[in-house]
Structure 1
Amino acid sequence: MILKLLENQGKVKRLDVELKRDIEKQVFAAARNNNISSIQFRNVVARKLGLNITDSECLSFLAIKGRATPKELAHYTGLTTGSTTAMLDRLEKSQFIKRKPNPEDRRSVLIEISEKWAKTAAPLVKGIQQSQAELIASYTDEELKIIADFLTRFTNNVIEQTKRVESSPPS
């Protein structure tokens, strides 16, 4: 009888470990799929607006951050400073951004999205924003705390690894 109980406990532990591994794989797959679907969504929005993906990424970054220097945008997009200037010239010509003097550095400017960009992009992203808000609202406060913690830590891992790779010598 005792042997049977110990044998069953061993099976339960194996099942628990297997279940945890399966859930971990599901989380990684979901994170990858989220990244892929986000890229696809941003690409569709860019095409609808006649933008290339780098210009669209710049505008998305500005929409999230509020404003940035050209140097920050060059770093984010991976463009050279010259290419960043050309991108900003295109976006300014399209009236999607505004250049403003940087109050902290007279030699620099700050880039902000314009009202035209906000009005142009809003109808395209309204549906996803509403769907995501409804999804978030469907979770309890405790579940949201866990989700927020996970996403924050997951993002911090990506940021740390980006810095590590960026600072390492080329292969």
Structure 2
Amino acid sequence: MSSSNSTPRLEREKLIEAVINASRESSTMAVFFHSIIAERSGLGATEEKTLSLLERLGPLTAGEIAHHTGLTTPSVTSLVDRLESKGFVSRIRDTQDRRRVIVELNKTQLAEMNNVFNTLRENFHDFLDVYSDEQLATIADFLTRSVQRSHAFMANLAHKD
């Protein structure tokens, strides 16, 4: 193999490794960031991220929360108990099927957390201004596909238990 063919491949491998390392570091920072936000609100990180999930997707059943988080249904039940006792969610009986319980967000309780996230959102908006539309599309594609891959991996891990 000639050195001209191996150099681009070596550079690509270095780029792939750089993306993987940066993604790992980004994930670590996100966990720490969310832990700090959660702590300020008297929550655990899983509780805070579940509230974020409910805010984004709307009311969900415990089973749906388990599906989206990868947690077991008994863990979700304990999680919802904690969130309900802190006033962040309510359990509502489904009007169509009284056996079905829906977890609904108390949006008033989220005001302080949302202020922090709105500030972060504004900060990232400015941060992302340096990228072209094509670069932003690539970043969005990467993040979307990364989430899909992680969700599939989590589902696979859950089925091995």
Same-fold status (TM-score > 0.5): yes
Contact 2:70 2:155 in 1 (8 A): no
| 1:155 alignment partner, one of 139, 147, 155 | 147
Residue identity matched to 1:165: L
Equivalence for 2:32:
40
Stretches of structure 2 lacking an aligned partner (at least 5 in a row): none
Greater shift in the superposed pair: 32-41 or 133-142:
133-142
Greater shift in the superposed pair: 102-111 or 119-128:
102-111
Rounded Cα–Cα distance in structure 2 between residues aligned with 1:78 and 1:163 = 10
Equivalence for 2:9:
17
Query: Counterparts in 2 of 1:33-72, with a 5 A limit?
Result: 33-72=25-64
Residue identity matched to 1:111: V
Residue identity matched to 2:31: I
Structure 1 31/66 Cα, relative in aligned 2: closer, same or farther at 3 Å? same
Contact 2:83 2:89 in 1 (8 A): yes
TM-score by length of 2: 0.82
* Offset from partner CA, 1:18-45 (integer Å, 9 cap, x none): 2111111110011111111111011101
Structure 1 39/129 Cα, relative in aligned 2: closer, same or farther at 3 Å? same
Contact 2:62 2:73 in 1 (8 A): no
Equivalence for 2:128:
136
Structure 1 80/156 Cα, relative in aligned 2: closer, same or farther at 3 Å? closer
Rounded Cα–Cα distance in structure 2 between residues aligned with 1:165 and 1:16 = 35
Aligned residues: 160
SS, match of residue 106 in structure 1: coil
Equivalence for 1:78:
71
Contact 1:58 1:77 in 2 (8 A): no
Greater shift in the superposed pair: 28-37 or 102-111:
102-111
Higher relative contact order, structure no. (Cα contacts within 8 Å, ≥ 6 residues apart): 2
